[in-house]
Amino acid sequence: MKNNLEGKRILVTGGTGSLGKTLVRRLLTGEMGRPEKITVFSRDEAKQHFMRLEYLHKTAATDDVIYENSLDVLNFRIGDVRDPSSLLSAMRDVDVVFHAAALKQVPSCEYFPYEAVLTNIIGAENVVKAIRENDLPIERVVGISTDKACKPINVMGMTKALQERILIEGNRDCSKTNITCVRYGNVIASRGSIVPLFVEQVKNNQPLTVTLPEMTRFLLSLDRAVDTVFAAIGSGKRGETYIPKVPAARITDVAKCLMGDKDLEIVYTGIRPGEKIHEIMVSEEECFRTVERDGYYVILPVLPELRDDMEAQNTLENEYSSKDDNISVEELRTLFAGASDEIARFLN
């Protein structure tokens, strides 16, 4: 597993996002093998510019080892997954694609649903179409999904659920390519997540805004999200979806944890358009084709012809939901202490 990406040419769509940046940083360490080339593909030239500066202006000794050859290995390409021609151009001469490009803000997708369709659904179809219609010799594709794709009630989740199905079904027509997905919950330090908002409110001694007292979420660090992606690369079979085993907590407890010794008010604002009270990463329908592998839940393909001889072992008897087994405020403090560098990087 450690050398799965040795000498590989890698494309990261949406590579300037929170997950994309952490993925690129980890790829450059060589922990999965030293890639020949990493291409960040996105439509935002400003984010690419600042990301390029970030990687070229490192000064710490350890960073010199990691980033010294990034001039040769790391490069950037402007394009949009909605545009088949620009995506095809980027996918030529590539061995591995990490498909992270997405519209992921729940309220934005509610107000602009067709925009979410174009990026999350059509973008995934364009990835599969490029491989299928041009016989591209791509070895692996990993699609980055979300717990909101499981029993979706909002536009973002609905479009990501279809993205998963499009990528998984793509294995039928792209027989030389291994296409898998990963699905995970609320990333602690990602853009638009609740933790950076709470940290900012605490810094400014403002009330902490929570939608409902009973609301819960899965919580994982950006590095844990990348671990899941690497697990899918290391041992994922065609059409599978990898799910990390991560803690879940009440959002009210997250707010109490982050305010520390301060006695700040918690204001309940009501549920937002398209928002769930609890998140689910494996539904009760999926649990009967879910196995456990290397510390992850793995959902076998919904299409029986993609399962080969894989047999579900009834790892889960019920859905895997954030409403169950919530961790305490003390446990949250430990979790956030481990992710403090990520939160600091995000806020800076």
Residue 33 makes CB contacts below 8 A (sequence gap 6+) with: 2, 3, 4, 5, 6, 7, 8
Give, as one character, the DSSP assignment of residue 2. Answer: T
Structural domains in the chain, CATH included, are: 9-185+220-245+281-320 (3.40.50.720)
For the annotated catalytic residues, the residue numbers are: 148
What's the angle, vertex CA 331, arms to CA 329 and CA 335, rounded to 5?
110
pLDDT at 29: 92
Rounded to a whole number of angstroms, the CA Rg of the chain reads 20
pLDDT digit string (tens) for the chain, length 348 residues: 567 899 999 999 999 998 999 999 999 999 999 999 999 999 999 999 999 888 877 654 455 544 455 557 999 999 999 999 999 999 999 999 999 999 998 889 999 999 999 999 999 999 999 999 999 999 999 999 999 999 999 999 999 999 999 999 999 999 999 999 999 988 886 766 788 889 889 999 999 999 999 999 998 888 999 999 999 999 999 999 999 999 999 999 999 998 988 999 999 999 887 788 999 999 999 998 999 999 999 999 999 888 876 665 678 889 999 999 999 999 998 888 876 565 554 444
Q: What is the pLDDT of residue 274?
A: 79
* 11 and 27 Cβ atoms separated by less than 8 Å: no
Please report the pLDDT score of residue 260 as a whole number.
Answer: 87
Taking the C-alpha atoms of residue 69 and residue 291, their distance in angstroms, rounded to an integer, is 40
Contact 256, 222 (CB under 8 A): no
Q: Using an 8 Å Cβ cutoff, are 282 and 218 in contact?
A: no
The pLDDT, as a whole number, for residue 347 is: 42
pLDDT at 333: 87
Q: What is the pTM of this model?
A: 0.90
